[in-house]
Chain A
Amino acid sequence: MEDFLRQNIVLVSTLAKAIVVPIAIMNVVPFMVLLERRGSAFIQDRRGPERASIFGIRMFGLWHTIADAMKFITKEKVVPAGAHPVFFYMAPALLLIPAIGAFAGVPFAADVTIAGETIPLQVARLDAGILYAFGVASLGVLGIALAGWASNNKFSLLGSLRSASQMLSYEVSMGLTIMGVLLIYQSLRPEVIVQAQAGPIWKWGIFVQPVGAVLFLVVGFAEANRLPFDLPEGDSELVAGYHTEYSGMKFAIFFMSEYMSMVTISAMVTTLFLGGWQIPFVTTERLHGWFGTDVAGQALTALCQVTSFAAKVGSLLWLFVWVRWTQARFRFDQLMKLGWRTMLPLALLNLIVTAAVMLVIWKDDPRFGLGFTG
C-alpha cells in the first residue's frame, strides 16, 4: 500500500483533491448559514439562534443548522400536479453540479514538492483556468430556468425568467471587468495571476485595478443572486421565485447552490484581486526559509497559505452577509438599467483605459509589439 502511494503520488493526490475540495466547499454551507443568522442578529441588535442545546452544549447555534438538514431530508415531498416529471427532478442537479465544479481552477496554496513530484494545490491546473471557472459558473442559469419552467407555477416562471435575464445581463459585464486584470498579468491561468501578486501588498489586483475590483464585486453579487440583487426570489412579490414549488432536499439543493456560488465568487475575487493564497510581504520562499523544505516544512507553508486564502474568502463571505442585511432590494427595471447602462459602459471604459496605460508602460519592453514572429 505504501509503495503504491509512493509510486502513484500524482494520481492519488489528484483524486484526493478532486474529492476533498468539493466536500470542503459543501461543508462551508452550514457554517455560512450560521454566519448569516448570527450576523443578521448582530446587525439588527437582537438574539440570533443560540437556544438549542444538546446535553447543555449550545455550539453557538450550530445545532439549528443540523436540525435544518434533518428536516429537509424527512419533509413531505410535494410535486405539483402540472410539474414536468423529469425536468422537475433534473433542475436542482443542473444547478448543483456547476456550483460544485466551478471551484476547480482556484489555487489555494503554493505547489508542494513531495518525493520529487510537484503537486499543485488546486483541483485542476488548466491552460485557461479563468475561462473554465466563468464558463462553468454560468451554467447554473440552466438549472434556474429549467426549475421555473418545470414547476408549472407562474411565480416560478417569472422568477426564473428574471433570474435568467439578470444573470445573462451581468455576465457580459463580468467577462469584461476581469479583462483588465488578465491584461496586466498577461495570463488566463489563476496560479500565474496569484504568483504575480506575491510580495508587497500593493502588487495585489485591487491596487492595480481598483475600478475593475469594485465592478467585479458588484457583478459578483448579481451573479450569486444576492441582495441587493435577489430579485429572482424577491419574496415580497414572487413568493420564493423559481423554487416556490420545491420542498425538502430539492429546495435545500437550491439553497446550497446559492451559498456555494457565493463561495466560488469570493474565491474568484480573492484570486484575481486580493492575492489569492499570498500572505502580504511573506513570499513562499521566505516561508520555506522559516520552516524548511522537508515534508513538514512544506506542510506548514501550505497550511499558512491555505489559512490566508480562507481568511480572505471568509471576509468576503461576511461582506455578502453584511450587505444583505443593510441594503434594500432593487426594482427589476433599476437592476437591468444598472447592468446595461452603467456596468457595461464602465467595464468597457475600464478595459480600454487599462490597455492605454499598459501601452505606455510597456512600450520599451523588449517583448512589446513583436507579434507572433518574435
Chain B
Amino acid sequence: MSPLAQYFPIAVLVLFAIVVAVFLIGLDHFLGPRQPNPTKLEPYECGILGVGTARQRFKVGFYIVALLFLLFDVETVFLYTWVVLFMPLGLIGFVEVALFLFVLAVGLYYAWRKGALEWE
C-alpha cells in the first residue's frame, strides 16, 4: 500500500468522529429548555460574586513546564529513529545515543538545580 493510501481509513475515521462531535453538540444546542437570567449566566464562583475576568496572568511555572516539555519531547522524537534501527546501527549508534542521553540527563540536572522543577 502506498504511504498515503494507508491513511485512508484514518480519514474516514476522523470524518466520522467530526460528524459524531458536531451531531452531539448540535443535539445539545437544540434540545432542552433555555431560560437564561443574568444571575444564572455568571461564572461559577461557589456562590460568591466574581471579581474581574478569568483571562489574566497566571503562574510562570506553567510556562516553564511547556518550555521543558518542548525541549525533552523533541529530543525524544530523535530517539525513535534510533530505537527501530538499533540492530543495524550496532555499537556506534549505541555510543552516540549514550552520549546524547548523557547530555539530556545533564540538561535535566541543570533544570533541577536551577529550580525549574520546584512547585512550592
Interface residues of A (CB under 8 A from B): 14-15, 17-19, 21-22, 26, 72-82, 89, 92-93, 96-97, 100-101, 104, 123-127, 131-132, 149, 151-158, 161, 164-165, 168-169, 171-172, 175-176, 179, 182-183, 186-188, 239, 244-245, 248-250, 252-253, 332-333, 336-337, 340-341, 344-345, 348, 351-352, 355-356, 358-359, 362-363, 365, 367-372, 374
Contacts and interface: CB of A to CB of B under 8 A. Distances in A.
21 contacts: A21-B13, A93-B25, A97-B18, A101-B17, A123-B9, A124-B8, A125-B1, A126-B6, A149-B55, A152-B53, A152-B54, A153-B43, A155-B45, A157-B55, A165-B62, A179-B80, A186-B86, A249-B24, A336-B119, A368-B88, A370-B90
B16 A18 contact: yes
A153 B51 CA distance: 10
A22 B16 contact: yes
A82 B53 contact: yes
B65 to A, nearest CB: 4
A173 B98 CA distance: 17
The residue among B34, B42, B88, B118 with the most chain A CB atoms within 10 A of its own CB is B88
B18 A187 contact: no
B94 interface: yes
B58 A157 contact: yes
A313 B51 CA distance: 46
Nearest to A332: B119
Contacts of A14: 8-9, 12
Contacts, number: 235
Given A19-B16, A179-B83, A371 B41 contact: no
Interface in B63-102: 65-66, 68-69, 72-73, 76-77, 79-80, 83-84, 86-92, 94, 97-98, 101
Contacts of B36: 78
Contacts of B1: 125
Given A100-B13, A161-B58, 19 more contacts: A96-B20, A96-B24, A100-B16, A101-B13, A101-B17, A123-B13, A149-B55, A165-B61, A188-B80, A244-B44, A248-B28, A249-B24, A252-B24, A340-B117, A355-B94, A355-B98, A359-B90, A368-B87, A369-B88
